[in-house]
Structure 1
Amino acid sequence: MVGCPPARYLVFFQYFGTKYSGVMETSNDQSLIGVQNYLEKAVQNLKPVAPVKFHISSRTDTGVHALCNSAHLDIQRAPGKPAFEEKQLVRGLNHYLKPEPICILNAHRVPSTFHARFSALSRTYVYRLLMGCSHHSEIPVFERDLCWAPGGGYLNVPAMQEAAQFLVGTHDFSTFRSLSSDTPFRSPIRTVFQVDIQPSSGFLSHHYEHRGLEFWELKFRSRSFLYRQIWTLQRPPENSSSVRYRKDC
């Protein structure tokens, strides 16, 4: 009996990135490996006919979390077995991802022409700053690895908000990117849709209001970014990402 053709799915997933080298696949002999390694190990337990590759939409670096990253994958099942239902795929992957801090949020069956990276309309990075700590040891336990506490007093937020608007629009961001092997081949022109600097609440922060801590959120949204473009704009390593698509994808 001839098996069914591969079914393509778009999956949205989140992870707590502290223990990973980033989202992208790495060799398994490294001290820290990528989130993709765990995703692909989990899907193999669903007994596909051929090895499954996750095509990740948006990169994140070592220690960076994702509120909602995404990827597409093709799964071909054995002859006589129908394609996975979306909820069935979510439950199966989450079962085999335990106990890793990685969670599949949902899955959608998509056409074979869909690509998680190239079909994305925008990507959003969020950085959380904590002001009021003179030393990193003063960061509340429940906020460690979830924010960056720069020294040097409080932020001049109005000045930051004014300066941020110069980044919105289409610009040559050559001076804001790090070098990589493909830097000479990639255009430095990017369009930034949104830069917001807003106060943010901390987890259980109402229980330590007496400490005078302030949380701030810096949000950057664009269709795509250059290598470490936002890292260079705003240095803190603790951030999160999300990706947006058309509703009919």
Structure 2
Amino acid sequence: MPRYALKVEYDGGPYAGWQRQDGPATVQGAIEAALARLEPGPHTIAAAGRTDAGVHGLGQVAQADLAKAWEPFRLAEALNYHLKPAPIAIVACARVADDWHARFSANERRYLFRLVARRAPLPFERGQVWKVNQPLDAAAMQAGADLLVGHHDFTTFRSSICQADSPVKTLDELTVETVTRPDGYPEYRFHVRARSFLHNQVRSFVGTLERVGAGAWPPERVGEALAARERKACGPVAPPQGLYLAAVKYPSDPFAD
């Protein structure tokens, strides 16, 4: 059965996360239903990461095995047709080797978290960013973020329901970027990069760093929280709507051609 890699964008707002469930709508379920319109199912696809309810995808990658050989462009077009009007798009498609795996072949995942400081509501970006009322100290947040980069036991920043075998991970990047928006207000973009992540790890980072930016925590308290290796030492967990799975990297980019 030919295997295809799919690069997927989606608005996670209407969905109970990526992973198929009985009852609630999910991104995986929507794509599998679209595949069933092309070839008899059932279809089971695998993804590079299982995003939670409300989390978005800019560069999610999934794999699908089909009975016949499709020209990748035609497969993407057909899936997009059958996905309408869902807020899901197949932005690239490629034929890959039978032993290629969207999750296990990946060697890096990149997340983006968007946080906007503005008192007024955001009618055009509802569900797309986390809004706080007051500007934050980006330099202080970066000082706290720097304490998290490297190889650590991240128990403090791990959800209590995380199923990972070990809390030890290597965080390659946690950069805080400040962007002045067209409306004049600041947007803080957290760029996070690692081979793999624990459940709620990025949202735990951002929620903790927001406390630093707001002046409620000194930056060094982030290091103390990390060293505590206790979930109760973590700051508040940021809401899901500001989080995006931005990109998944492989030793050889399946979409390069």
TM-score between both structures, scaled by the size of structure 1: 0.84
Of structures 1 and 2, the larger Rg is shown by 1
Separation in structure 2 between the aligned mates of residue 97 and residue 65 of structure 1, nearest angstrom: 16
Cα deviation, 1:51-104, whole Å, max 9, x if unaligned, reads: 221101111111111111011111013xxxxx1011011011001000101000
Residue 40 of structure 1 is matched in structure 2 by 32
Select the residue among 131, 144, 154 that pairs with 2:117: 131
After TM superposition, the runs of 4+ consecutive aligned structure 1 residues lying more than 3 A away are: none
Select the residue among 196, 200, 208 that pairs with 2:175: 196
Residue 62 of structure 1 is matched in structure 2 by 53
Select the residue among 188, 208, 223 that pairs with 2:195: 223
Separation in structure 2 between the aligned mates of residue 61 and residue 201 of structure 1, nearest angstrom: 28
Separation in structure 2 between the aligned mates of residue 180 and residue 216 of structure 1, nearest angstrom: 28
Residue 24 of structure 1 is matched in structure 2 by 19
Separation in structure 2 between the aligned mates of residue 232 and residue 56 of structure 1, nearest angstrom: 22
Gaps of 5+ in 1: 1-5, 78-82
Select the residue among 60, 80, 93 that pairs with 1:94: 80
Residue 2 of structure 2 is matched in structure 1 by 7
Select the residue among 52, 63, 67 that pairs with 1:72: 63
Residue 243 of structure 1 is matched in structure 2 by 248
Separation in structure 2 between the aligned mates of residue 23 and residue 220 of structure 1, nearest angstrom: 20
Q: 1:139 to 1:60 in 2, by over 3 A?
A: same
Separation in structure 1 between the aligned mates of residue 11 and residue 77 of structure 2, nearest angstrom: 19
Please state how far the C-alpha of 1:181 moved relative to its aligned partner. Answer: 6.6
Q: Which is worse superposed, 220-229 or 174-183?
A: 174-183
Cα deviation, 1:178-229, whole Å, max 9, x if unaligned, reads: 122735xx11110111111011354xx2xx33xxx21110111111001111
Separation in structure 2 between the aligned mates of residue 118 and residue 14 of structure 1, nearest angstrom: 20
Please state how far the C-alpha of 1:240 moved relative to its aligned partner. Answer: 0.6
Q: 1:38 to 1:201 in 2, by over 3 A?
A: farther
Number of residues of Structure 1 aligned to a counterpart in Structure 2:
221
Separation in structure 2 between the aligned mates of residue 131 and residue 11 of structure 1, nearest angstrom: 35
% identity of equivalent residues = 35
2:54 partner letter: G
1:94 partner letter: N
Residue 211 of structure 2 is matched in structure 1 by none
Select the residue among 151, 155, 158 that pairs with 1:170: 151
Separation in structure 2 between the aligned mates of residue 58 and residue 36 of structure 1, nearest angstrom: 11
Tell me, what secondary structure is at the counterpart of 2:128? Answer: coil
